Amino acid sequence: MKRPLLIFLSLILFSQVSIAQKKQGKLFIIGGGSRPASLINAMIDEAGLRTEGYAVVLPMSTMYGDEAMASGKKQFTDNGIKNATAFNFEKGETPNPVLLDSIRKAKLIYISGGDQNRFMGIVAGTEIEKAIWDCFNNGGMIAGTSAGAAVMSEKMITGTQVAYPDEEGGFKVMEQGNVELANGLGFLKKAIIDQHFVKRSRYNRMLTLTMEHPEIKCIGIDESTAIVVSGDKVKVVGASQVLVFDAGGKKAKLQGKKLGQKDIKLSIYLAGDEFSLK
């Protein structure tokens, strides 16, 4: 009698796990820059927002919260979605439970551009972060642009050069320990996201990270372009390109502080292309 009961309980557990996995939502990660109607409509359609639910804009990446809330909501209303709202939280405040519940139940959460460090400084370890995750685990879409893209990965680029903090004009070297990382929201554990990628020629920064973290993919998203992430599957939408650097787990060579690596794989994807995070 015990064996059939164990089998039955195992089937129930497997079914519950499968249901939980199916509920998990999508990510819509925009590389910054202008957001044409075609890109916003792709985000709306991927989220299923035309048939049900509402969008929530979170503007905490920027000090100009009112402007970010207004422009964030306008991109939805301009494209036929009237049910969009925005919540701006301050660091250290106790969030209103009603607002947290609205975040949890949203069909789409949109994180504005600005400074990713500012956003994480406000939400990390709080009920706001938990509510964002609850939304995702209930099947909602988490979207963001620029800084809102950077926060998607577990290892988040801060933008700081550790060895050359006063250097202007971007990362001019590929040296060990120069690219600072911090904790992001953690939706992507197998990838690091960089934004404005082709427009701002951020190759040195991403190649450095590829050599320092060969176990994960480094994804550079250009402006007016996005990736749609569903599980390990990724689709490119928008006007430009997405570059993926992959060291295949191979350890880099170190000469002084200079990094070296052979056979780094580079893939350049266009709108409509798909790839895997595996």
The token pair at 109 is 């959460």
Full set of structural domains in the chain with CATH: 25-276 (3.40.50.880)
CA 47 to chain centre: 15
The CA distance from 87 to 69, in Å, is: 8
CA 208 to chain centre: 20
DSSP symbol at 232 = T
The CA distance from 183 to 158, in Å, is: 9
Contact 202, 171 (CB under 8 A): yes
Alpha helices in 87-160 (DSSP H): 97-104, 116-123, 127-137, 147-150
Residue-by-residue pLDDT tens, the chain, 278 positions:
455 544 444 544 544 444 444 579 999 999 999 999 999 999 999 999 999 999 999 999 999 999 999 999 999 999 999 999 999 999 999 999 999 999 999 999 999 999 999 999 999 999 999 999 999 999 999 999 999 999 999 999 999 999 999 887 789 999 999 999 999 999 999 999 999 999 999 999 999 999 999 999 999 999 999 999 999 999 999 999 999 999 999 999 999 999 999 999 999 999 999 999 99
Other C-beta atoms closer than 10 Å to the C-beta of 232 total: 10
Q: Where do we find the tokens 């790839």? A: 275
The CA distance from 70 to 84, in Å, is: 10
DSSP symbol at 175 = B
The CA distance from 245 to 205, in Å, is: 11
Residue type, position 62, single letter: T
The CA distance from 165 to 87, in Å, is: 33
